[in-house]
């Protein structure tokens, strides 16, 4: 169960993405998966390189489109554990439409956003999760837009598993990814993953000072949606832990009869004569 390969990541030294990669590899091994049972589909951005750094099936897809591709992979082969991943720009800007629909659709897969509140690959522009007032080359007088709030967005879009973590807390992050993989539905995990090269505001020290562990909040019940939303609003999305989990809502594919059978990729493409005639008659 070794999810390591011999490709050396070309992330900057100290980038938060290293720990996210390690947590995914550890979590997949801990839940008993084999490399050939996992597919990692990534978008574009520094974090998008992840699919090439893990010993599993992997597709480094196109900008903002990791989710449609990942959902297609799951539809074609339900036996695979599918993990989609990308950055905040990938998932909350160009890919935002796909993110919202995947959240409400509830296919059984995991989506990990490596949220560094900046565009790293293109050398440091303001991203959808950058805070108001954030100064970069693209907003030299400070960002005048309100930032996206990933946890509020996920809960209000109908997600059945919503969690947040910090790349530096590898123990918590690994546990959360294990829970996300085991959840029977769409699991959304937002991970604060500092960009040490271009984001000099949201640093490791800044997160350590500002993050609040859900485990420290007394009587928190992750199955209570209104408590989850209320807590997220009060704490301004700076929480880490499993924020919300709904174990009752069925996954998308569990409601489709044909999904009980063998995966589509294992079905024969050969048609019997009467099946062929039926098919042709539909086009007459």
Which 221-260 residues touch ligand SF4, going by CB under 6 A? none
- Distance, in Å, from the CA atom of 80 to the CA atom of 93, rounded to the nearest integer, reads 28
Helices 170-182/17-30 angle, 10° precision: 50
Q: Which two tokens stand for residue 211?
A: 């993050």
- Distance, in Å, from the CA atom of 130 to the CA atom of 127, rounded to the nearest integer, reads 5
Q: Choose one: 78-86, 114-122, 207-215, 217-225; the region binding ligand SF4 (CB under 6 A).
A: 114-122
Q: Choose one: 11-19, 75-83, 138-146, 164-172; the region binding ligand SF4 (CB under 6 A).
A: 11-19
Which residues, at least 6 apart from 243, have a Cβ–Cβ distance to it below 8 Å? 151, 155, 162, 163, 164, 214, 222, 228, 231, 232
C-beta of 53 vs 244, nearer to ligand SF4:
53
Among 138, 157, 197, 227, binds ligand SF4 (CB under 6 A): 197
Q: Taking Cα atoms as reference points, which of 34, 73, 21, 15 lies closest to residue 263?
A: 73
C-beta of 12 vs 33, nearer to ligand SF4:
12
Among 3, 92, 111, 198, binds ligand SF4 (CB under 6 A): 198
Among 19, 81, 116, 175, binds ligand SF4 (CB under 6 A): 116
C-beta of 17 vs 172, nearer to ligand SF4:
17
Question: Which residues bind to ligand SF4, rule: CB under 6 A?
Answer: 11-12, 15, 17, 46, 116, 120-121, 195-198
């Amino acid at each position: 169960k070794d999810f390591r390969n011999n490709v050396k990541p070309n992330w900057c030294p100290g980038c938060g993405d290293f720990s996210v990669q390690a947590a995914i590899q550890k979590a997949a091994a801990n839940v008993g998966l084999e490399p050939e049972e996992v597919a990692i589909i990534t978008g574009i951005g520094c974090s998008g390189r992840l699919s090439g750094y893990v010993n599993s099936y992997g597709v480094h897809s196109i900008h903002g489109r990791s989710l449609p591709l990942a959902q297609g992979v799951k539809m074609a082969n339900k036996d695979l554990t599918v993990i989609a991943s990308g950055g905040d720009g990938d998932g909350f800007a160009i890919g935002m439409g796909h993110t919202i629909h995947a959240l409400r659709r509830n296919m059984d897969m995991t989506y990990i956003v490596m949220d560094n509140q900046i565009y790293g690959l293109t050398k440091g522009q303001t991203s959808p999760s950058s805070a108001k007032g954030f100064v970069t080359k693209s907003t030299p007088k400070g960002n005048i837009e309100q930032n996206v709030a990933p946890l509020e967005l996920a809960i209000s879009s109908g997600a059945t598993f919503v969690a947040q973590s910090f790349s530096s807390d590898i123990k918590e992050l690994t546990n959360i990814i294990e829970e996300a993989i085991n959840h029977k539905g769409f699991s959304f995990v937002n991970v604060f993953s500092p960009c040490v090269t271009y984001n000099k505001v949201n640093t490791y020290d800044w997160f350590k000072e500002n993050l609040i562990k859900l485990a420290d909040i007394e009587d928190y019940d992750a199955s209570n949606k209104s408590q989850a939303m209320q807590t997220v609003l009060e704490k301004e999305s700076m929480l880490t832990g499993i924020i919300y989990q709904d174990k009752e809502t069925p996954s998308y594919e569990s409601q489709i009869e044909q999904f009980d059978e063998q995966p589509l990729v294992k079905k024969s493409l050969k048609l019997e004569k009467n099946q062929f005639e039926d098919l042709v008659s539909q086009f007459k």
